[in-house]
Amino acid sequence: MDECTRRYFILNNELKDISEFSDYFGNPEKYIYEVFRVQEAMPVFIEDHLDRLWYTALISGVVLPFSRKDILKEIHMLVKANPSGDGNIKIFITLPNHGEMLRLLYYTPHQYPTKEQFSKGVAARLFNAEREKPNAKIMDVALRSATDQIKTERNVYEVLLVNGQEFITEGSRSNVFFIQNQKIVTPPVHTVLEGVTRKNIIQLCKENDIELIEEPVHITELNKMDAAFISGTSRRVLPVCCIDDLNFNSQHPLIPMLQRLFEDRVMQYINRKK
């Protein structure tokens, strides 16, 4: 699957044809990046995504030689230049030790869950691995390749990372939540990449009197959980039907409730920004 889709991408504020993309994208082992969703020609929750991009740069010791205004201008340019339709845009920034810092913005392939997956859930598998800097959105190509291989070989939708103390932290491309006795449990924010969708789910729980706590979940505690779901830019609120050999209730009442609340929040955001 090609890394860049649609006709145009942006290199350092300059619009270029997709035929030139491979001249600049060398797929380094690690790079700073951010992915956000465009819906109805609107970059959804873009403020939160840019906050995370700047925070990733800060804790990575990287000084970004451009402003948020520059990025917003480029996003508008990219959306306007390409055919309409929902999609994901990726901000790609090479780290200084790879030579000249390049900034690419482009539509990247996405796989949004199907209606059946949103209803019946998806399968996941545990994998012993830890991110070097969990709070920074830095691409680790080796880890991504390993988890993608597991997904293919085991025919699962997501891989959940387990740290050295055997606590579940997050998915390879998602955050994870568990439901136990009408209470939602999610790993502490300092142990994971704080997803924008995760942040909104926590806010929705507070606003709707849904009990949610942030605490570590050990692999031995999985059999005590009634349900589980993952979240992310493409996945939004997606139930998990099984983790390894353990089955979960993918239709637990709290899951469709959060799905509806989240979709309402997205539409409110879009209508407010139009």
Triad 169, 171, 175: Cα angle to 5°: 75
CATH number for 115-270 (one of 3.10.20.600, 3.50.50.60, 3.20.10.10, 3.90.1150.10): it is: 3.20.10.10
Which pLDDT value is given to residue 31?
Answer: 85
- Nearest to 269, CA basis, from 213, 205, 203, 212: 203
Which pLDDT value is given to residue 62?
Answer: 86
Which pLDDT value is given to residue 39?
Answer: 96
What CATH number should be reported for the domain whose range is 5-108? Answer: 3.30.470.10
At 95, is the pLDDT very low, low, confident or very high (cuts 50, 70, 90)?
confident
Tokens of 264: 């309402």
- 179-219 per-position pLDDT tens digit: 998 999 999 999 999 999 999 999 999 999 999 999 999 99
In this predicted structure, the answer to whether residue 98 has a pLDDT above a threshold of 60 is no
Cα separation, 20 vs 66, in Å, equals: 23
Which pLDDT value is given to residue 96?
Answer: 65
Instruction: Give the burial string for 83-105 (b: 16+ CB within 10 Å, else e).
Output: eeeebbbbbbbbbeeeeebbbbb
Q: Which residue has the tokens 């969990």?
A: 134
Q: Which residue has the tokens 């969703």?
A: 37
Average pLDDT over residues 121-140: 92
Cα separation, 33 vs 267, in Å, equals: 25
CB 201 within 8 A of CB 266: no
Cα separation, 3 vs 104, in Å, equals: 12
Q: Where are the beta strands (DSSP E) in 18-73?
A: 30-39, 42-43
Which of the pair, 84 or 152, is modelled with greater confidence?
152
Q: What is the mean pLDDT of the chain?
A: 94
Which of the pair, 221 or 102, is modelled with greater confidence?
221
Which pLDDT value is given to residue 202?
Answer: 98
Domain ranges of the chain: 5-108, 115-270
Average pLDDT over residues 209-238: 97
Domains 5-108 and 115-270 share a fold: no
Which pLDDT value is given to residue 97?
Answer: 59
Average pLDDT over residues 72-80: 96
- 135-178 per-position pLDDT tens digit: 989 888 889 999 999 999 999 999 999 999 999 999 999 999 99
- 20-70 per-position pLDDT tens digit: 999 888 777 778 999 999 999 999 999 999 999 999 999 988 889 899 999
